[in-house]
Structure 1
Amino acid sequence: MSMTTPPSTPGGMGGPPPGWYADQGAPGTERWWDGAAWTAHTRPLPATLAMPVRPAPNAPSGRGTAAVIGALLVVPAVIGGVLLLNGGGDEPPPPVATSSAPAPAVTSAAAPTPSPSPTEDPTHVTDQLNGITLPILKGWKKPENTLDDVATVTTDESYECPGDTSRYCDRGTVSSRSVSGTAATTPEALAKEDIATAAKAAYGEDALGNRIHGGIRSHTVVAARPAVVAGRTGYLVRWRVITGKGPGGYVQSLVFPSSLGSESPVVVRFAFDAGPDGPPLSAMDEIMRGIKPIGSSTGGGVGSSIGP
């Protein structure tokens, strides 16, 4: 990773929020700041920026700034005092010695400004970190709150969870995230490794350890094949899951390289309830076809030719 100066804010406040910032170690590129540290994600500097943006240095201390401002205020005060002592007579006041050197410029440093984000589109959810957008189909929505901070779309309809009627479950959920904490490298290996985690998160135990579907009893592999997503060749694995309570469902892990310069792997997880009340499986393929790179109106999808 290129050496990059962490962003800072004036007055000793905390760092800026997560976002893309200019990478001083790699001119013409930006690196993702997750709010606490730099990540391995990079992308080319957007062409809309006329000049390269660099993270600004730390702001000068309050003592130095106050001294400069105080110095600038002293000269008018001295001149005013001399005029009062002269009493406004005919004799002109004696000249006041001034320095020919220009006054020091007072500067302030601010936190670097993130690159402009794409215009919000009600038909898509943007995953800025991974450089893709997820389509919002008819009957689906972007939820206001999620347990984990990832790009997510869900069905409009929710219902009392079969294993915990005090909580509500979604009929369908799709979310994207970066792949991390694994030694696997190929999309196929990553998808086959992630599917068990995706199934557990959707129908086994939630983030709080609750079995809101009564836990997973068994599963069957429905599909395992290459797929082209957002113009990149990836791999998908789909399971049919039988749960202790309720209709169970279908889960899918779709892994492909990011469209960003680092090409870090991205995994999109699908969870669809089975039965007549769940979304049709064809919606999985429709959503896959609708995943595109940020700023692109076209992209590869299911049915596209498999390329390098």
Structure 2
Amino acid sequence: MTPPGWHPDPGYSGNGPAQERWWDGAQWTGHVRASPGAARRRGIRIGVGVTVGAVVLAAIGGGVYLLGEDGGPPGTAASSPSAVPDPPGAPDDGEKGGGENGDGQGPGGQLPPTEPGFATDLAAGISLPVPKGWKGTSGAVGAGLTTGEHACPGDTAETCVRGGVFSAPAAAMKLTAGTPEEAAKKDIAVNAQESYGGKSYGKISSHEELKSEAVTVAGGKGYVVRWKVVTEKGDDGYVESLVFPSPTSKDMLVVVRSGFDVNKDAPKLSVLDDITRGIKAASGAGGGAGGAV
């Protein structure tokens, strides 16, 4: 007998990335999600080299480009006070399907689940709390939070943000380290370089480790590493790489990358800690919620 759990969707049409459906031990349910390995590069990125179907947030602490794949507006805005209605034919009791249609939609035009005040990462099975005044964007693969847009110090033709946080499955970022601790320690240097290196801020001249410790997020045992980096141009920055198991698939690691400017107009680090504590399992995705301790 096939045990309850996520399995390849027997009804998958082949359009869009592969997806999985929940088998309850007796029958297939209406709950579907993007397969963990379904993240593919299609020219849309969130944060540091991650593909999503909703927005481009290139270099989360550096440049932010809030564009859809066709140059239009981004996908589902989690800061909206109302939830996005189900499209015709969508399951009425489960998680929406994942995909990469350039608008945050999955196969068949399905949208990621949206909760007021949260940005949902469908593939990772999590929701990020959207702080007051921030912009949140949900996606089939990845979710993002940004605030404080301004001209990048190294290239004023580009737009940077004072604070940015984004999530994606580790596989979507080609991060293959085995444990949350190994993954976070490996990811932080990449996060720092792509957030505050390059033409947006120039090279990083040095860094100081501020935090490296175990943490519980959404009921899972994870690990977080935080650095303060010194840049060549403009403000210095705080970068953080947080890794923990998905609340809907314990075999999947989720990475949350953050970048905050060191600037009086940037969010305080306490806001980043509040976001971490507020991360939860996506509504309807199963698994337990719970903050960091």
Structure 2 residues not aligned, in runs of 5+? 1-5, 41-90, 95-106
TM-score, L = length of structure 1: 0.61
Alpha-carbon offset, residue 20 of structure 1 = 4.3
Amino acid of the structure 1 residue aligned with 2:169: S
TM-score, L = length of structure 2: 0.64
* Contact residue 164 and residue 212 of structure 1 kept, 8 A: yes
Give 1 or 2 for the bigger CA radius of gyration: 1
Alignment correspondent of 1:238 = 226
- Aligned partners of 2:8 and 2:150: how far apart in 1? 49
- Aligned partners of 1:250 and 1:116: how far apart in 2? 33
Amino acid of the structure 2 residue aligned with 1:197: V
Alpha-carbon offset, residue 116 of structure 1 = 8.1
SS of residue matched to 1:138: coil
Q: Structure 1 pair 149/167, CA: closer, same or farther in 2 (3 Å)? A: farther
* Contact residue 144 and residue 166 of structure 2 kept, 8 A: yes
Alpha-carbon offset, residue 262 of structure 1 = 4.5
* Structure 2 residue corresponding to 1:189, chosen from 170, 182, 195: 182
* Structure 1 residue corresponding to 2:152, chosen from 141, 144, 161: 161
Amino acid of the structure 1 residue aligned with 2:266: G
- Aligned partners of 1:172 and 1:116: how far apart in 2? 26
* Contact residue 178 and residue 265 of structure 1 kept, 8 A: yes
Alpha-carbon offset, residue 117 of structure 1 = 4.9
Alignment of 1:1-308 (within 5 A): 7-8=12-13, 15-18=14-17, 20-22=19-21, 28=28, 30=32, 32-33=34-35, 34=38, 48=93, 117-118=112-113, 120-142=114-136, 150-155=142-147, 157-180=148-171, 181-205=174-198, 211-295=199-283, 299-303=289-293
* Richer in helix (by share): 1
- Aligned partners of 1:122 and 1:266: how far apart in 2? 22
Q: Structure 1 pair 113/168, CA: closer, same or farther in 2 (3 Å)? A: closer
Alignment correspondent of 1:77 = none
Q: Deviations over 1:92-144 (max 9, x none)?
A: xxxxxxxxxxxxxxxxxxxx8698853x2331101111110011101211259
CA RMSD of aligned residues (A): 3.5
Taking every aligned residue pair, what percent have the same amino acid on both sides?
40
Q: Deviations over 1:201-246 (max 9, x none)?
A: 11113xxxxx111121111100001111111110000000100011
Give the aligned length: 217
SS of residue matched to 2:251: coil
- Aligned partners of 2:270 and 2:9: how far apart in 1? 45
* Contact residue 12 and residue 19 of structure 2 kept, 8 A: no
Q: Structure 1 pair 6/23, CA: closer, same or farther in 2 (3 Å)? A: same
Alpha-carbon offset, residue 3 of structure 1 = 6.6
